[in-house]
Amino acid sequence: MPGGNPYPVGLRLHGRRVVVVGGGTVATRRVPALLDAGADVLLVAPELTPALHAHVDAGRLRWERRRFTPADLDGAWLVQVAVDDPAAAAAVSAAAAERRVFCVRADDRNAATAWTPAVTRHGPVTVAVLGGGDPRRAMGVRDAVRDLLAGRPGPSAARPAAPEPSAVAPGGRVALVGAGPGDPELITVKGWRLLTGADVVVADRLVPGLLLDELRADVELVDASKIPYGPARAQEEINRILVDRALAGRFVVRLKGGDPYVFGRGGEELLACAAAGVPVTVVPGVTSAVAVPAAAGIPVTHRAVAHEFTVVSGHVAPDSPASLVRWEALAALRGTLVVLMGLKNLAAIAGTLVAHGRPAATPVAVVQEGTTDGQRVLRSTLEAVAADVVAAGLRPPATVVIGDVVDALAP
Ligand code: SAH
């Protein structure tokens, strides 16, 4: 190979500064693996995708909102160039070479001093493949190794034959896939198989970033992040993207946090596709409503404790005319109540439940970023939980579990 064979190493980036230059889709795909490695990520870019914004908001990395300057590399161990402009990328390369910092370039592999391999992770094992200059070969080998490790059939069956309505170009279809609650290993086998066969992936903010890290390089990644009260791409726009790409003959995976039909607007997407004659497959996901309590050691039902669990959205305040939830009726139940999207209205929700008869001392747990490395669990009571959440500084995404099951397995 010109320039010699690459020398593989496993960089131990924990606590070490890595600079990412650029705030677009390449950075969106690279940052999760850097964070997973524990790197101290400095992102330098005038603008960010919503998914990168979410990392900044959650305090997972530092963002300098401007263009790159060479001094950004002071103290860095590695730099990832994720900008399109060749001159800007070359300037980063030059600054990196001067400081003897390895430089990964998305735009020009020949100008890079380090290459990122195609990666698959299996428990403690990380397999990294370099394809001798051919990223597709690397992906192919990686996929084969991944299937071998998982003991799964290969992805050749990734596109089950579907009847093709005339308006849809051959191969065009959509899969609504549940990505699970946060741990990238909690996607289903079927969801994973379809994801790795996708031409286009439309992903939510709550989707585990590491799943996107393993996609083929030529996959079109659309960031459909809908940050509450922040910059949002309207649902109609997402529907339009799904339909347009499928009509053009592409296999689109709409990857959604948890389960697609649990407060995920999956139904609307299905209807939009159906109206356009686009075939749709729905792959259920592990919903946070059940998995997040479990990750905190709380079973949603338990023998002799709770024979029911009710999942409710808290995104509309109980006293709002827009509320579709009969909170006073829920207050009369004695089983488990799981509230999603409930942090903002937690004081009103807890107050309403107590006012209508649920005991003030009912145990409550609030689980932030369940099933991920960032998981935080707060235990409280119905009367104290709203203040405790504020005092602890808990943030969305968080799941609230109300009921005696909260203590069922507690020592
Ligand atoms: N379809 C998703 C839910 C979408 S609503 C599912 O089935 O899981 C989004 C809400 O889900 C968040 O506001 C939060 O209440 C909950 N949620 C999602 N992921 C979570 C996580 N990792 N930890 C805690 N709560 C989570």
Of 144-158, 193-207, 291-305, 358-372, the poorest mean pLDDT is in 144-158
204 is known as an active-site residue: yes
Q: Are residues 80 and 159 in the same domain?
A: no
Q: Is the pLDDT of residue 168 over 80?
A: no
Q: Is residue 53 part of a domain?
A: yes
Domains in the chain: how many in total? Answer: 3
Of 283, 314, 338, which residue sits at a domain end? Answer: 283
The enclosing domain of 106 has a CATH number of 3.40.50.720
Which residue among 226, 244, 388, 407 is the active-site one? 226
Host H or E run for residue 195: helix 189-196
CA 102 vs CA 40, 43, 112: distances in Å? 16, 16, 8
Choice between 3 and 78, residue whose per-residue pLDDT is larger: 78
Q: What pLDDT digit, counting tens, does each position of 49-68 carry?
A: 988 998 999 899 999 999 99
Supply the range of the domain harboring residue 171: 155-283
Q: Are residues 293 and 242 in the same domain?
A: no
Which residue among 40, 204, 213, 223 is the active-site one? 204
What gap in Å lies between CA 357 and CA 55, rounded to an integer? 40
Give the per-residue pLDDT at 190: 93
Give the per-residue pLDDT at 256: 95
Choice between 205 and 314, residue whose per-residue pLDDT is larger: 314
Mean pLDDT of 230-255: 84
Choice between 11 and 155, residue whose per-residue pLDDT is larger: 11
Mean pLDDT of 340-349: 97
Count of other CB atoms within 10 angstroms of residue 69 = 12
C-alpha dihedral sign at 205, 210, 212, 213: positive
pLDDT grade for 149, boundaries at 50, 70 and 90: confident
Which of 398, 353, 352 shows the shortest CA–CA distance to 378? 398
Q: Are residues 167 and 279 in the same domain?
A: yes
Q: Is residue 99 part of a domain?
A: yes
Does residue 397 have a cis peptide bond before it, meaning omega lies within 30 degrees of 0?
Answer: yes
Pair 358, 336: CB distance under 8 Å: no
Choice between 157 and 90, residue whose per-residue pLDDT is larger: 90
Which of 141, 99, 96, 85 shows the shortest CA–CA distance to 118? 141
Pair 382, 348: CB distance under 8 Å: no
In the predicted model, what is the mean pLDDT of the chain?
A: 90
Of 235, 267, 283, which residue sits at a domain end? Answer: 283
**Atom 5 in ligand 1: residue holding the nearest Cα:** 263
What gap in Å lies between CA 100 and CA 102, rounded to an integer? 6
Q: Is residue 172 part of a domain?
A: yes
Mean pLDDT of 369-395: 97
Instruction: Ligand 1, residue 372: give the atom nearest the CA.
Output: 22
Residue ranges around ligand 1 (CB below 6 Å): 181-182, 206, 257-259, 262-264, 287-289, 292, 340-341, 367, 369-372, 396-399
Q: Are residues 264 and 294 in the same domain?
A: no
pLDDT grade for 152, boundaries at 50, 70 and 90: low
